[in-house]
Amino acid sequence: MEAEDLTVETFVRYLHNLPVRNEHPQAWLLRVATRLGYNALRSAKRRDHYEERAGLYIAGKPSDPSRELERDRERNRVRSVLRKMDQRSTAILLLHHSGCSYKEIAAAVNVSPNSVGTLLVRAQKRFARLYGAK
C-alpha cells in the first residue's frame, strides 16, 4: 500500500512541478521516487525509534509489567541524580542527549561553543560518579 502511495505522490509532484527541460522524464521520475522512498524509510525508522524510547508498544507486543516497573525505577534514579547536579551541567547533558549540536548547547547555556565539549565530559563524569553511588 505504501509503495502505491509513493508512486502516486511521485506522479503528482511531476504534474505540479514539470521539469523545465522535459528531455528525460523517466530519470526525473526515478530520482523523485527514489528520494520519496528514502524519506519514507527514514521516517519509519525515526517513528519506531521514538515509539520505543517513549515506551509505547506496537500491536502484538505484550506489555511486561515488571519491565515497566524497572524502567520507572531507572527513570526516577536518573532524575534524582540530575537533581543533585548543578543546573548548567544538567542542561548540557539533557541537551546533548536530545540531539542538540555543541553550538545549540552553547547558546542555550550561555557559554562558548569551544567549551561545550569540556563541560559535557565533566558533566558526564559527575553523573557517572553520582549514579554509581547509590
Domain regions of the chain by residue span: 2-53, 65-132
Asked if 130 contacts 84 with a C-beta cutoff of 8 angstroms, the reply is: yes
Tell me whether residue 76 is exposed, middle or buried, using C-beta atoms within 10 angstroms of its C-beta: 0 to 12, 13 to 18, 19 or more: exposed
CA 13 to chain centroid, in Å, comes to 28
Percent of the chain clearing pLDDT 70 (strictly above): 84
pTM: 0.51
pLDDT above 70 for 53: no
CATH for 65-132 is: 1.10.10
**Look-up of cell digits 527514514:** 42
pLDDT above 70 for 55: no
Contacts of residue 93, Cβ cutoff 8 Å, sequence gap at least 6: 82, 85, 120, 123, 124, 127
